[in-house]
Amino acid sequence: MPSPARTANSATTGALDHAKCELPLREGLQGAGHPATLATRHQLAVFTGWAGDPARARDLFAALLPDIERVLGAGHPATLAARANIATYTGRAGDPARARDLFAALLPDIERVLGAGHPATLATRHQLAVFTGEAGDPAGARDLFAALLPVKERVLGAGHPATLAARHQLAVFTGEAGDPAGARDLFAALLPDMERVLGVGHPATLAARHQLAVFTGRAGDPARARDLFAALLPVRERVLGAGHPDTLTTRAELAYWTRKAASAG
């Protein structure tokens, strides 16, 4: 279903190059409509997105979709996966409203074919909520995540990474919808669970610490936000490196909340 976010690296580049070389061979030997050829086109589109070109990945999946539908059928999981990837990369290419609409159209089809509790269905609901928020409706996203969370807890378990991700997004959109104190409290409750399940140095754990600090400041405690960012910065420097964009963002937030705390004092 929706492809996870990836960062371009040598392995991704190598996989992309391999798919580019493999595709004409499969088309020549097995034909354009062979399932193996379609699978190679799928991989080419995926690796294109992972390599940092979401618009090209979107277009590759859009070209692939009618061929998959013709060969495998509209309800085949591979067809549904292609639709999910079109929606995902449409959003990543800068059109969250269109991504939201594509996921909204996809959801009832996935529920009918795979079932309401299938992980792919839950992932589709997650992405629908994310792009609802990114399209400018944080309250709508908050409500979608609030409805999704108990389902993920029941189906996947409270400690599953996908459940933790839903809690993270619920907290974010709670804050973005105008309740920074509520977001702060949700992140404070989430953080120890993320540290236990994922580890203290996991990027998602560090992101939760970052958001806890942000919403602590927005809730009216700039001095505490400053202290939280001061504690987070050396961890991000050690884990991600001093020049990583997330580390630089933490440094900028530390400077900002240091100034805000000084002004409040």
pLDDT digits (tens, 9 = 90+) for 133-161: 999 999 999 999 999 999 999 999 999 99
Mean pLDDT within 73-98: 96
**Other beta carbons within 10 Å of 31:** 10
Distances from the Cα of 115 to the Cα of 77, 128, 131, 146, angstroms? 12, 17, 22, 20
Residue 242 maps to a domain: no
Report whether pLDDT(7) > 50.
no
Indicate the angle between helix axes 10-30 and 35-50, nearest 10 degrees: 160
10 — pLDDT class (breaks 50, 70, 90): low
In three-state secondary structure terms, 127 is: helix
- What is the four-CA torsion angle of 199, 201, 205, 206, rounded to 10 degrees? 170
Residue 234 maps to a domain: no
Based on the structure, what is the number of domains in the chain?
A: 1
Report whether pLDDT(81) > 80.
yes
**AA letter at 41:** R
Residue 176 maps to a domain: no
- pLDDT the model gives residue 204: 96
Mean pLDDT within 118-128: 97
Residue 150 maps to a domain: no
Residue 156 maps to a domain: no
Backbone angles phi, psi at 136, to 5 degrees: 110, 15
* CATH code where residue 16 lies: 1.25.40.10
Residue 74 maps to a domain: yes
- pLDDT the model gives residue 37: 86
Least confident of 12-21, 52-61, 247-256: 12-21
For 199-239, the pLDDT digits (tens) are 999 999 999 999 999 999 999 999 999 999 999 999 999 99
- pLDDT the model gives residue 5: 43
Phi-psi region of 53 (alpha: psi -120 to 50; beta: other; left: phi over 0): beta
- pLDDT the model gives residue 24: 72
DSSP per-residue codes, 34-98: SHHHHHHHHHHHHHHHHTT-HHHHHHHHHHHHHHHHHHH-TTSHHHHHHHHHHHHHHHHTT-HHH
The token pair that represents 81 in the structure block: 């996966």
Phi-psi region of 65 (alpha: psi -120 to 50; beta: other; left: phi over 0): alpha
Residue 104 maps to a domain: yes
Q: Report the percent of the chain where pLDDT is more than 90.
A: 80
Q: What angle do CA 217, 219, 220 make, to 5 degrees?
A: 70
Higher-pLDDT residue of 100 and 4 is 100
Report whether pLDDT(116) > 60.
yes
Mean pLDDT rounded to a whole number for the chain: 92
* Nearest-angstrom CA–CA distance, 221 and 247: 22
- pLDDT the model gives residue 20: 73
Containing structural domain, residue 87: 1-115
Residue 57 maps to a domain: yes
* Nearest-angstrom CA–CA distance, 208 and 214: 10
